[in-house]
Amino acid sequence: MSAATARESPRRVLVTGASRGIGRAAMRALAQAGYQAVGLARQVPGDAAAGEQFLACDLTDAQATRTLLDALLREGPFYGLVNNAGMAHATSLAETSVQEMDEAMALNVNAALVCMQALMPGMVQARAGRVVNISSRAALGKPLRTTYSASKAALIGMSRTWALELAPHQITVNAIAPGPVDTGLFWAASPPDAAQTRALMDAVPLQRVGAPAEIAHAIAFLLHPLSGYITGQILHIDGGLTISATRL
């Protein structure tokens, strides 16, 4: 299908964690690309523009999420899913609790599973679909991120498995693994004045943090009809950090 056809018939895309950061930028980028973006977040953003559809949802509550998705699906199927919602605990191995791991898995992994299972039947029936899971470069390992790195690595594993299972239905599944990005989530876990943050930034070859709009651009690319031959891939957008001699 051509890009022009996609614009003539807006396709719905669900974005989780849509009220700020990468999710907020994705909502704007997808609207500009002609999609009908529907955002889920704990709170509706105060700067929501006319025509933007945001719904409040606690994605850690699996049953409440399923109920909301069932209501949305009665309005029609979704072409795309962007699993962006996430949390990051900044605790050492010795201080990491099982409760923190449960919290990270509930939002970073389980919520993605619930959303995928709800939207999958419509995609299968249409024999078309795009799924983009937002992981993290931290999945490769990062100090003070036991729960975050574990849950984001799990999301990569799920992405590859989903890509294999859904390929016969012409549904693609890919993951984006951002490095440092200028979001509240990043700065909350990585205070600018912290030695670890300074060392991290020194290791980024491009010597800057990424912008949410740059990640949103990649999301829109993977959702595009002409990206239908890309599946099961992990796209690192990190200013070159993964090829840096220093791993932090």
- For the question of residue 148 being annotated catalytic, the response is yes
Q: Give the separation between CA 30 and CA 49, rounded to whole angstroms.
A: 14
The bridge status of strand 234-237 relative to strand 80-83 is unpaired
Tokens 């004045």: give the residue: 193
Q: Give the separation between CA 214 and CA 205, rounded to whole angstroms.
A: 17
Tokens 């419509």: give the residue: 122
Alpha helices (H) along 89-168: 98-105, 111-126, 146-166
Residue type, 223: L
Q: Give the separation between CA 87 and CA 186, rounded to whole angstroms.
A: 10
Q: Give the separation between CA 128 and CA 36, rounded to whole angstroms.
A: 16
Q: Give the separation between CA 241 and CA 129, rounded to whole angstroms.
A: 31
Answer yes or no: are the C-beta atoms of 72 and 120 closer than 8 Å: no
Backbone angles phi, psi at 55, to 5 degrees: -130, 135
Tokens 């992981």: give the residue: 135
Answer yes or no: are the C-beta atoms of 78 and 122 closer than 8 Å: yes
Total residues found in the chain within this entry:
248
- Catalogue the active-site residues: 148
